[in-house]
Structure 1
Amino acid sequence: MDNNLERDWNKLLYKISEDFNVDANLNGTLLLIGIQERGKGFQEKYSKDDKMDHINLATCTLLMKWKYYSISGKDENDWPIFKKNKMVPPFSKEKEELLLKSAIVEYFKQNEYLVTENNESLN
C-alpha cells in the first residue's frame, strides 16, 4: 500500500473507531457504507444476512467508480438492483483489499467525513 493510502486508511479507521466506539476494520467499514447507502438509518442489531447484504451493497456501490456496476432500479424492498457492466478481474486477495481500501477512503472523502492533506477544505 502506498504511504498516502496507508496514512489515510489508518486515519479513517481511527476516526470511525473514535466516533462509533468500535474496532474499525475493512468489513465493518463496508457495513457502515452499506447502511449509509441503504438510507434507512442505523439499527442496533443486524442479522448475519443483513450484514452481508449491506456489505454487498457497499462493495457494488464502490465498484461503480470503475464502471463494473450500475444501478438499474430498485426492488420491492427498496434495495438497489445492480447491473453488472463488465467482469471484475480476478485480483489477488491483497490487490482486492487495496482496491477496496482506496475506494473506501475516496468515498469518505467525497462524503466529507474524512479530511486529509489532499482535501483540507472539506469538513
Structure 2
Amino acid sequence: MNTEKELSTKNKWFKIRELIERVFKKTPDLSAILYVVGMRELGKAQTKYSKEEKVRLMHIATCRVLSTSGHYKLTGIDSNDWPVWELVEKLPNQDLLEQEMYLRHHIINYFEEEELI
C-alpha cells in the first residue's frame, strides 16, 4: 500500500513528465529529464548538441540537482561557458533502483525550487 508521501512523489514525478512531454511531444525517461534540466542550467539557446555535449548536459543536471544535498558544488565556468562541478560529498552506496529514486527525489526538489511545478 502506498503512503501519502509516496503518492505525492508519484504525482509530482508525473507532473514533471507531463510538463516535458507537452514541450517535446514525447514521454520523457529519467535521462531525458536530466537532459532538459542540463539545458536549462546551461542557459544557452541551442537546438542541436553533439552526443558528447548531451552527456555533459546530463552530468550538469545530475550535479545541479544533487548539489542541494551537498554532494556537488559549482566551482566555476570553463572556457566554453559550461559550468564546472566538484564532488564534495560521496554519494550513498545504492543499487540501481535506489539510485534512480534518489535522483527522482532530487529532480522533484529542483522543479519545486525553480517553481516549475
TM tier, shorter chain? 0.7 to 0.9
Partner in structure 2 of residue 121 of structure 1: none
Give the aligned residue type for 2:36: L
What is the Cα-based RMSD across aligned positions, in Å?
1.5
- The answer to whether the aligner puts 1:72 opposite 2:45 as a matched pair is no
Q: Number of aligned pairs?
A: 113
What displacement does 1:30 show? 0.3
Give the aligned residue type for 2:7: N
Partner in structure 2 of residue 20 of structure 1: 24
- The answer to whether the aligner puts 1:5 opposite 2:9 as a matched pair is yes
Superposition TM-score, scaled by structure 2 size: 0.88
* Unpaired runs of at least 5, structure 1: 115-123
What displacement does 1:42 show? 3.8
SS of residue in 2 equivalent to 1:94: helix
**Alpha-carbon separation, structure 1, partners of 2:27 and 2:7:** 22
**Alpha-carbon separation, structure 1, partners of 2:116 and 2:66:** 20
Stretches of 4+ aligned residues off by more than 6 angstroms: none
* Unpaired runs of at least 5, structure 2: none
What displacement does 1:53 show? 0.4
- The farther-off stretch of 10-19 and 23-32 is 10-19
The percent identity for this pair of structures is 29
**Alpha-carbon separation, structure 2, partners of 1:69 and 1:47:** 25
Partner in structure 2 of residue 82 of structure 1: 85
Give matches, 1:80-119, under 5 Å. 80-114=83-117
What displacement does 1:57 show? 0.4
Partner in structure 2 of residue 34 of structure 1: 38
